[in-house]
Chains A and B, each alone.
Chain A
Amino acid sequence: MPLITYRQAINDALAEELTRDEKVIVMGEEVAEYDGAYKVTEGLLKKFGPKRIIDTPISEAGFIGLGIGASMLGIRPVMELMFWSFSYVAFDQIVNNAANVRFMSGGLINCPIVIRGPANGGTGVGATHSHTPENILATTPGLKVICPSTAYDVKGLMKSAIRDNDPVYVMENTLLYGEQGEVPEEEYTIPLGKADIKREGSDVSIIAHGRCVQTALLAAELLETEDGIDAEVLDLRSIRPLDEEAILETVRKTNRVVLVEENKPFCGTDAQIAYMIQDKAFDHLDAPIKRVSSIDAPQVYSIPLEKIQIPDAERIRKAVLEICPRSV
């Protein structure tokens, strides 16, 4: 299988869906002539023209709301947010309009919009540019939220998101854009709501989403070589819908769980998952569920401190060691 970057995988997914369905359009700041602030949409304008690849003013509330409106008439807009942090100026559109219009119309209207862009810290862009709002958005019924961690996943999930008839919000990561992964040349899709075991193991389950999956894999290696602990890493891939069965299965297998997310801890995605595990697999737990998340404070600019703030492999390893007997 060819190795391509996460960025290229998104680009390919967009190009394939633009080709497959003429209702698909791409819209956002700098997506067309500039080829995307992070070059995710590179070449799309050239290939599909200005009718379908559309630059917008810096008016997130306006153009995201416009995308929602257009989707009500059957357009399938893929909207880029330069950062998910900028979704906050469009919050009414994103959570109020997109999430509620189907319900309030008694199912007469639906809203097949995709909003995508990076949501991460770790690059020293400070408190206003480092939000990870997957939990905030997933609290809203009517919305779907996914956080792909590899090139393979982001391509398959993006294609499903575009074909989905509900609003799907895709959280990417600027630190993943350049990461390579194997992606088949043949077409494939990955259903939303299907988690994926990224590493098999038997002693403990590390459950993560987004770039934290990569961090969890590093931690799992450390645990194996340093501590003789065999960790399983489950990648949620999708936050809502959530693959409860996959979560419960790995818990039943290892009986120990560490939940990892880049989000701040209060009401983070993992709080919901921890609740679900104790509710549905209480008898399978040999230890309390542990969580590793970002240090609970606005995102700091200073790089050495930000490294401490977001979860790293060592912090995950420590959490595992708190609940797992070492075997070396």
Chain B
Amino acid sequence: MSKKTTSKDKPSAKNAEASLNSGATAPINAKLSKKEKIEIYRKLVRIRRFEERTLRSYQQGKIAGFLHLYIGQEAIAVGTTSLMGPDDHVITAYRDHGHALGVGMSMNECMAELQGKYTGCSKGKGGSMHFFAPDKNYWGGHGIVGGQTPLGAGLAFALKHEGKKGCCMCFMGDGAVNQGAVHESLNIAGLWGLPVIYIIENNQYSMGTSLARSSASTLLAKRAEGYDIAWEQVNGHSLYDVRAKTWEAMERAHNECLPTVIEMATYRHRGHSVSDNEKYRDKAEIEEYKRTSDPVILFQNTLLEEKTLTEELIKTINTEAREEAENAVQFADQSPFPPEEELQRDVYWEEDNPEHKTSQGKIFFND
């Protein structure tokens, strides 16, 4: 469709750089201990090494279907999940490996899930797009664009209903904001005052479509104004900035029971999924982001400057993460596939809990 011209520049890597680390002095960051910072860095590295390893496994044919890598966006999942208290929850879309490791899922269960193994987080039934760990307040992993956003409002509703001082962080992409369900959710969240934080991970592309070709207004968070919801734009390459702004939203949710929309500028270094020829963007653009805005390197440099990290420690953490990912592949390789009977398990609660069964009649229909 021929598009009206807009004068707004596309957010560039340079713009992102300019505002880098303005959140470093925020109290929520200032109070981080050296040890906590190292653990945050370790998580960034673990996600990166894990995903690099999954890519190899995919190329080796161990992983089926889609593999949407989070490489380049790690500061968002790590920064936000590092703030979670016992009643804070997370739900996201299909680019979900970073959030999964962020909330503390193990590489083993994630790798096994990718390989469709019984030891996977969802017993091999969900796959890359559908990771879950409710024991870690992690509600997925959702394959349908925007489909998780009403669920995010619902998790927040339940928290409020039960009088819990918590929130739900609901992640989505820059393309997802154009799903109807997102707007319905925002309105309800604004109308009812739900403690939900909608985090738009704006990596500038939805598959092969740039932001300017998919959204009438490219200031995505501003849509919150239509629903009387507070909004923010954040440099999502910066771990400290992500934490600082997310914490403000969390306090708003915890103390005032109000929603926030935060748009985080980020960039995915890899294709949309593994099979993506990436004709829609320049190699130079990707290289520029890798050079100036890699969230792992940026935080690493910050911590080096702070003298929190040493070159040696960086090396150790990276080696350990690589080994952990390698071991996860071994774990997955050695795990069995789910047995055939698993096909019709986990479909109905009642069938899986026959001692509590009250319904009668036939429920499965193959014969």
- Give residues in A with beta carbon < 8 Å to B: 29-30, 33-34, 37, 50-51, 54-62, 85-86, 88-89, 123-129, 264-266, 293, 295-298, 300-305, 308-309
Contact = CB atoms under 8 A, between A and B. Distances in A.
The 10 closest A-B pairs by CB, nearest first: A124-B64, A302-B116, A301-B127, A128-B143, A34-B208, A302-B124, A124-B65, A57-B178, A125-B65, A126-B127
Interface stretch (B7-15, B249-257, B299-307, B338-346): B338-346
Given A33-B280, A128-B129, A265-B365, A309 B343 contact: yes
A62 B129 CA distance: 25
A138 B208 CA distance: 33
A127 B130 contact: yes
B127 A51 contact: no
Interface string B223-267: 000000000000000000000000000000000000000000000
Contact of B144 (A34, A57, A128, A297): A128
Nearest to A54: B1
B337 interface: yes
B338 A89 contact: no
Given A59-B179, A300-B343, A305-B343, A124 B209 contact: no
A263 to B, nearest CB: 11
B6 to A, nearest CB: 15
Given A58-B178, A58-B206, A85 B144 contact: yes
Given A34-B208, A58-B179, 9 more contacts: A29-B207, A33-B213, A56-B1, A59-B178, A125-B143, A126-B127, A126-B130, A302-B116, A305-B342
B366 A296 contact: yes
Interface string B330-367: 00000001101011100100000000000000001110
Nearest to A290: B367
Contacts of B366: 265, 293, 295-296
Contacts of B207: 29-30, 34, 37
B125 interface: yes
A305 B116 contact: yes
B25 interface: no
A198 B245 CA distance: 63
Interface in B55-75: 64-66
Given A55-B213, A124-B65, A305-B338, A129 B143 contact: yes
Nearest to B178: A57
A124 B116 contact: yes
19 contacts: A34-B207, A34-B208, A50-B2, A58-B206, A59-B179, A62-B180, A85-B144, A89-B144, A123-B64, A125-B127, A125-B129, A127-B126, A266-B365, A295-B343, A297-B347, A298-B125, A300-B125, A302-B124, A305-B338
Contact of A34 (B116, B117, B147, B209): B209
A89 B126 contact: no
A59 B279 CA distance: 23
A296 B364 contact: yes
A297 B344 contact: yes
A51 B3 CA distance: 11
A295 B207 CA distance: 32
Contact of A61 (B126, B127, B180): B180
A175 to B, nearest CB: 13
Given A34-B209, A57-B215, A295-B343, A89 B179 contact: yes
Interface residues of B, number: 46
A33 B116 CA distance: 34
B146 interface: yes
A270 to B, nearest CB: 12
B176 interface: yes
Contacts of A309: 343
Interface string B203-223: 000111100011100000000
Contacts of A62: 178, 180
B142 A296 contact: no
Interface in B142-156: 142-147
A151 B113 CA distance: 35
Interface in B113-151: 113, 116-117, 122, 124-127, 129-130, 142-147
B38 interface: no
Interface in B80-125: 113, 116-117, 122, 124-125
Given A33-B280, A302-B125, A55 B178 contact: no
Contacts of B364: 296-297
A295 B347 CA distance: 12
B23 interface: no
Interface string B283-311: 00000000000000000000000000000
Nearest to A266: B365
A122 B191 CA distance: 43
Contacts of B1: 50, 54-56
A32 B127 CA distance: 29
B24 interface: no
Contacts of B314: none
B175 interface: yes
B179 to A, nearest CB: 6
A301 B343 CA distance: 10
B43 to A, nearest CB: 26
A297 B341 CA distance: 11
A177 to B, nearest CB: 13
A69 to B, nearest CB: 15
Contact of A123 (B65, B214, B365): B65
Contacts of B126: 126-127, 301
A85 B65 CA distance: 15
Nearest to B123: A302
B158 interface: no
B188 interface: no
Contacts of B125: 127, 298, 300-302
Contacts of B129: 125-126, 128-129
Nearest to B175: A58
A56 B145 CA distance: 14
A153 B96 CA distance: 39
